[in-house]
Structure 1
Amino acid sequence: MIARPARSSEPTVDEASAWAHVLVRLRLLHAAVLTPTGQWLVQDKPDGPVHVLTGPADVLALAATIQHHTRSTKPESR
């Protein structure tokens, strides 16, 4: 695996919003809503619990976790 360089800045709300939109559109999350306080409310399935994320960095961490899980459980296509 190729190591990625460390981020030089904190994730932005726009970046988190883009990831949240993609995760919902691909049905990897049921909902992701930005609150006026800057927190995110996320739900992985319609009848599941609502989780509170404190900011953009948490949204990106969730996206990375979902991406890792999706890639590690996907059958090899080689």
Structure 2
Amino acid sequence: MSTPVTDFPLLSGAEFVELYKVLKVQGLVDGGGAAKHVITEGLVKVNNEVDTRKRKKCVVGDVIEFNGEQIKIVATA
């Protein structure tokens, strides 16, 4: 059974969103500090690889995985 993927639309005109902001906005952590902590601890994957860069620029097509959740960065319609 596969994990459902939640879409995260970029703001209109934006080319990327920082990794910690995705976790924070999606409500997967209590705030920005907690997001940065779980990223630094190696608990977050981007495109199936652990990424410890808090301010990694996530672009359309990137898939973020944390705590059994998957979020895909998509373009705003």
Normalising to structure 1: TM-score of the pair?
Answer: 0.30
Q: Which has the higher helix share?
A: 1
Normalising to structure 2: TM-score of the pair?
Answer: 0.30
